[in-house]
Amino acid sequence: MDTPRKLVSLCLLSFLLATGVLAQQSDETTTEGTVVSASRETMVLRTDDNTHQLFVFERRTQRPRALPAGMRVSVVSIVGDEPGVRRAISVTTLAAAPSSQASSQSPAPLPPQIRELERSIEQQVRRWRLGIRGGIALDPELISFGVQSRIGPIFSRNLTFRPSAEFSWGEVTDMIGLNLDVAYRLPINGRQARWTTYVGGGPALNFVHQGFDATTGKGRDIEFGNFEFDTALNIVGGVEFRSGTFAEVRTGVYAGPAPTFRLVIGHNF
């Protein structure tokens, strides 16, 4: 009795897959032109009608190892994550770049908006970035400031390692924290989109000092040599813009006496 159901499910799945493939194929466009600039992640092409088109390279993009300026190529692409950007599927060489002696005409200047978009995309996908961060914490109430790094992708194109170090201080509590977080980019929008969301977590190594003696009433007494070591598990969710600015919400499991809730903003350069 289950055989007809399995056949129906298989047919439905095949139909959906075929529909997705056909939709992508119907969007494929072939563009011919001359390479203006190219990097590991992007390429700007000057088409035959003297316009500029920005392409981004995906992991599976088929392309020559070198794409020098002046090379004539044919690009098969589909729509990108935002207007004016296309994702390259394959790049085929049509003619080699001319030598410097043979090139008598200087190329047309690149439009500023194309250049700025190219730079921002290349910055976003950089494998190593250094940044600053700051925020507030609750339970206990603290103000924090620190530095961080973003390394990756690692193991998967959506995974990055985001270690950070921060110093936090408040009325009663002071803390030096080291966070060894791993973040997963949610694939709800593309890698080169204006903004992306992520979730993650990792171990936290905290050195905490609480200098208020409630029994003696002496008030706060800071002695930085008296920090106590504590560990916690971070759980993180946030949004990062292509410019490098990000905002995230953090909570800690088994975090006491470290804060259990934090709001953090920062910027990766």
Q: Which residues contact 252 (CB under 8 A, 6 or more apart)?
A: 204, 232, 233, 234, 235, 258, 259, 260, 261, 262
- Kindly tell me if the per-residue pLDDT of 76 is higher than 90: yes
Per-residue pLDDT at 78 = 92
Neighbours of 213 (CB within 10 A): 11
249 in the same domain as 163: yes
Q: Distance between CA 238 and CA 250 in Å, rounded?
A: 9
191 in the same domain as 83: no
Are 73 and 62 contacting, i.e. CB atoms less than 8 angstroms apart?
A: no
Domain limits for position 165: 128-268
Q: Distance between CA 197 and CA 50 in Å, rounded?
A: 37
Closest of 134, 104, 121 to residue 55, by C-alpha:
121
Confidence of residue 16 (pLDDT cuts 50, 70, 90): very low
Final residue belonging to a domain, choices 124, 146, 163: 124
Q: Quick check: helix, strand or coil at residue 99?
A: coil
Q: Distance between CA 34 and CA 38 in Å, rounded?
A: 11
Q: Tell me, what DSSP letter sits at residue 98?
A: P
- Kindly tell me if the per-residue pLDDT of 256 is higher than 90: no
Q: What is the CATH number of the domain that holds 153?
A: 2.40.160.20
Confidence of residue 221 (pLDDT cuts 50, 70, 90): low
| Average pLDDT of the segment spanning 207-224 | 61
Per the DSSP assignment, residues forming a β-bridge with 212 are 220
Per-residue pLDDT at 17 = 45
Burial of 15 (0-12, 13-18, 19+ CB in 10 A): exposed
115 in the same domain as 151: no
Lowest mean pLDDT among 22-26, 77-81, 94-98, 193-197: 22-26
98 in the same domain as 151: no
234 in the same domain as 171: yes
| Average pLDDT of the segment spanning 172-181 | 92
Q: Quick check: helix, strand or coil at residue 129?
A: strand
112 in the same domain as 193: no
- Does the pTM surpass 0.75? The reply is no
Confidence of residue 161 (pLDDT cuts 50, 70, 90): very high
Q: Quick check: helix, strand or coil at residue 124?
A: helix
Percentage of the chain modeled with pLDDT above 90:
45
- Kindly tell me if the per-residue pLDDT of 191 is higher than 90: no
- pLDDT tens string 81-96: 777 889 899 999 999 9
Per-residue pLDDT at 128 = 86
Q: Which residue has the higher pLDDT, 190 or 87?
A: 87
In our burial notation (b when 16+ CB lie closer than 10 A, e otherwise), range 175-187 reads bbbebebbbebee
In our burial notation (b when 16+ CB lie closer than 10 A, e otherwise), range 63-92 reads beeebeebbbbebbbbebbeeebbbbbebe
